[in-house]
Structure 1
Amino acid sequence: MNKLGRATERAMGMSDTAWERHANPWSGWTRVAILPMLAIAIWSRVWIGWWSLVLTVMLIAWIWINPRIFPRPKSIDNWMSQGVLGERIWLANEPGTVADHHIRITRVLTAVAGVGALVFISGLIWLNLAATLFGLAVTMLGKLWFIDRMVWIYREQTHVARIQE
């Protein structure tokens, strides 16, 4: 379904334990906050010069560390945890686990976030505040809507599993 997503998952070294820990809502929400913080870190080159690279590298390191640092959640009865677990179902690409009505919209949402990311990156390169903020908003909207779709996938999958028991 999503070759880029699976490649990213492999590059991140997402083991079963990492996925379980990433389902902690603190992990998910602090990952959502990374993109605006990354914008500030990269933009800070205007004020602090090359030191902005230190901030940027720290945030990139956080992206890798994040799914490993939080404990397993005490409950997955929340939107973010279910979104993370739904993403794992999506990426696993097991036949029959994701209903057809999710596939097209998920691809569209990924494309929307990707286009937003291109505008965001362009804005950061050329220090264009409007492009940076617009790209950030579109990327975040696409990503959050994607997570919402993953919640839907998770809930459908767990509903089917309960019926089959």
Structure 2
Amino acid sequence: MRIDKAIESSMSMDDATWARHANPWSVWTRAPVLALLALAIWSRVWIGWWFMVPVAALVAWALYNPRAFPPPTSLDNWASRAVLGERHWLARKTTPIPAHHGRWAMILSVLSAVALLPLAYGLWVLDPWAAFAGAMLSSVFKLWFCDRMAWLAAEMACAPGP
């Protein structure tokens, strides 16, 4: 199973959940989760094992977030298009997408994942620069991926039917 499909499956993302996740509030309140998670893990220095409380809260929020807001009244915004594009990306085996989007989406996903390495290292050894650089790079690549997905959604909306 592909990792992207495994993540989608683990979050129980049905059509209703995707519709709610397309709300810009869902996208923008999820965006800072990685930086906040890094801060929560770093807080073990100050609060010991109590750091698990904010970590658990952030994980719970990340899982609940796609369901937290109502479906948007309009899909005519960048965040909603990014979510719609991600749905196209995940369905690319059954409904082909333009190759240039598939290639770049994969590159950006890998770069985002690789950027987690300095973040993990920085959190392990308490190196603030490595942690900050990893969190920021991973977030930048994820937002770039989202931008690519918004572009994909726009192209798929203009694509001729079967």
For Structure 1 versus Structure 2, the TM-score category normalised by the shorter chain is over 0.9
What is the alpha-carbon distance in structure 2 between the residues aligned to residue 129 and residue 40 of structure 1?
Answer: 10
Match of 1:41 in 2: 40
Where structure 1 has 5 or more consecutive residues not aligned to the other structure, the ranges are none
Find the residue that maps to 2:115 and give its secondary structure: helix
> C-alpha offsets along residues 30-50 of structure 1, whole Å, 9 cap, x if unaligned?
111111111111111111111
What is the alpha-carbon distance in structure 2 between the residues aligned to residue 154 and residue 136 of structure 1?
Answer: 27
- Give the drift of 1:96: 4.8
> C-alpha offsets along residues 78-103 of structure 1, whole Å, 9 cap, x if unaligned?
11110011001100124454101112
Match of 1:107 in 2: 106
What count of residue pairs does the alignment treat as equivalent? 162
Report the RMSD for the aligned CA atoms in angstroms: 1.5
Find the residue that maps to 1:70 and give its secondary structure: coil
What is the alpha-carbon distance in structure 2 between the residues aligned to residue 21 and residue 96 of structure 1?
Answer: 22
Paired AA for residue 142 in structure 1: F
Match of 1:12 in 2: 11
Match of 1:159 in 2: 158
TM-score of the superposition, structure 2-length normalised?
A: 0.95
Match of 2:70 in 1: 71
Runs ≥4 residues deviating over 4 A: none
Match of 2:31 in 1: 32
Match of 1:93 in 2: 92
> C-alpha offsets along residues 8-32 of structure 1, whole Å, 9 cap, x if unaligned?
0001111111100000000011111
What is the alpha-carbon distance in structure 1 between the residues aligned to residue 96 and residue 73 of structure 2?
Answer: 25
Where structure 2 has 5 or more consecutive residues not aligned to the other structure, the ranges are none
> Percent identical across equivalent pairs?
45
- Give the drift of 1:64: 0.6
Task: Determine which structure has the larger helix proportion and give its number.
Answer: 1
- Give the drift of 1:146: 0.3
Match of 2:82 in 1: 83
Contact 1:97 1:157 in 2 (8 A): no
What is the alpha-carbon distance in structure 2 between the residues aligned to residue 30 and residue 58 of structure 1?
Answer: 14
What is the alpha-carbon distance in structure 1 between the residues aligned to residue 76 and residue 31 of structure 2?
Answer: 19
Paired AA for residue 124 in structure 2: I
Contact 2:26 2:66 in 1 (8 A): yes
